[in-house]
Amino acid sequence: MIELVRTNDPVVISFVESLLRDAGIACFVADQNMSIMEGSLGILPRRVMIDANDEAAARQLLKDAGIGDEARFDDGNNA
């Protein structure tokens, strides 16, 4: 799996999940339960993970929805 989106914004996470689900692209939200560890402050970002085979379609989907800049690209700078 690869990381598509990393954000603290629950609205963005929900929107991305909805877009992917409607397009038939399976996703998993990692670190969703970390808010328990941080005291529900929303400090730790959550990650939307997808299968690497769906990467191009998912990125295009986010771009078409106007949130393409939320996607993370593996250019070596997204550690």
Please tell me the pTM assigned to this model: 0.80
CATH number of the domain that 12 lies in? Answer: 3.30.70.790
Residue located via tokens 């400090």: 43
Show the DSSP H helices in the chain as ranges: 10-22, 34-38, 55-64
**Domain presence at residue 41:** yes
The answer to whether residue 41 scores a pLDDT higher than 70 is: no
CA Rg value for the chain? 12
**Domain presence at residue 78:** no
| Structural domain count of the chain | 1
**Domain presence at residue 79:** no
Nearest to 3 by CA among 22, 77, 11: 77
**Domain presence at residue 75:** no
pLDDT given at position 18: 97
**Domain presence at residue 52:** yes
Domain region containing 17: 2-70
Q: Quote the crossing angle between the two packed helices 10-22 and 55-64, to the nearest 10°.
A: 120
